[in-house]
Amino acid sequence: EGTNDVFVLGQLKNFIRMHGIKHLVFKSDQERSLVAFLENVAADLRKEGMSLILEQSPVGESQSNGVAERQIQAVEDLLRTMRGALMHRLQTRIVATHPLFQWLILHVASVMNRFVVGRDGKTAFQRLHGRRASSKAVEFGERVFYYIPRKLRAKMSLRWRLGMYLGVASHSGENLI
């Protein structure tokens, strides 16, 4: 089912393009749906002249991907925590198929890239951009006011409206409401 998820496919391709990656090795286990998904990504990006290699670890040897496995665990931990906070705030259950869940995954990736400090004392954002990310942060799903520009509203319409914070756009740094 993941091989046909246009949203996820597009997000991964955009991430790779945005970071200027020209040569990439995708290493994964041999799970069929993941391999098929990565083959779709690789086929699309090869058409754009990128060099991509797909590698698979032996069956039952997930420990051979130790660094990746630890990162996956860290993402899952933060995702679980933020999902729990969101469900508590909204007083409803958020399942993996809920549209908010996709936005939450992107937000978790953004938080990890912008705020998790590595052994070198820098965040992934710092390593890529040479500067720290903005320290201003809003909790995912929090209700916030957002401004409506003059050209998008009638003269007597409200200038501010209430929305839900969904994270930061990785390509522009804009807040997503």
State the Cα–Cα distance between residues 39 and 103, nearest whole angstrom. Answer: 24
Dihedrals φ, ψ of 120, to 5°?
Answer: -80, 5
Work out the pLDDT band at 9, boundaries 50, 70, 90.
confident
pTM metric for this prediction: 0.74
Nearest CA to 17 out of 173, 125, 174, 171 is that of 171
Tens digit of pLDDT for each residue in 30-40?
A: 778 888 888 88
Length of the chain: 177
Q: Contact 142/164 with Cβ under 8 angstroms?
A: yes
Question: Is 19 exposed, middle or buried (CB count within 10 Å of its CB: 0-12, 13-18, 19+)?
Answer: exposed
Point out which residues pair with 53 in neighbouring strands: 25
DSSP 175: E
State the Cα–Cα distance between residues 137 and 105, nearest whole angstrom. Answer: 16
Point out which residues pair with 161 in neighbouring strands: 146
Tens digit of pLDDT for each residue in 40-58?
A: 888 888 888 888 888 877 7
